Amino acid sequence: MAVNDEMQTLAEWCEQLARALEIPDLDVDQELLLDLARKSADQVIHAAAPVTAFMVGYVAGQKAGTDDAGSAGAREATARAADIAFRLCEDRAGGEGGKDAGRASSAGAG
């Protein structure tokens, strides 16, 4: 299957899933999430891909639910959370995963 066909299939799946989950207006940055999943699978372990995407989405959902900015706030929260995850992946690639991972998780908790 060609890349364009795969992206079309993914877009259709996301639309179908969003309707079924009753969130048809959800704006998903598929490219960002795919890049993040790919990077976390490569730098951590394969199972990190869906868990990382879920956690980034969770942060975005929290922001959208508590912020008057709604979907704009969710997009901004997604970008910030993805940035943190990308940096952690890069740190792991450099062999510093354990030290930086703990620091980033405690920084995000405050």
The model's pLDDT over 1-30, given as tens digits with 9 standing for 90+, comes to 788 999 999 999 999 999 999 988 888 889
SS3 70: coil
Specify the long-range contacts of residues 18-25, CB closer than 8 Å, at least 24 apart.
Answer: 25/71
Q: Is the predicted pLDDT of residue 65 greater than 80, yes or no?
A: no
Per-residue CA distances from 106 to 3, 41, 52 (Å): 38, 22, 17
Q: Is the predicted pLDDT of residue 110 greater than 60, yes or no?
A: no
Is the pTM for the entire model greater than 0.75? no
Integer Cα distance of 26 and 28 in angstroms: 6
| Domain spans in the chain, listed from the N-terminal domain onward | 31-109
Angle of the 71-93 helix axis to the 97-109 helix axis, nearest 10? 160
Structure tokens given for 107: 């920084």
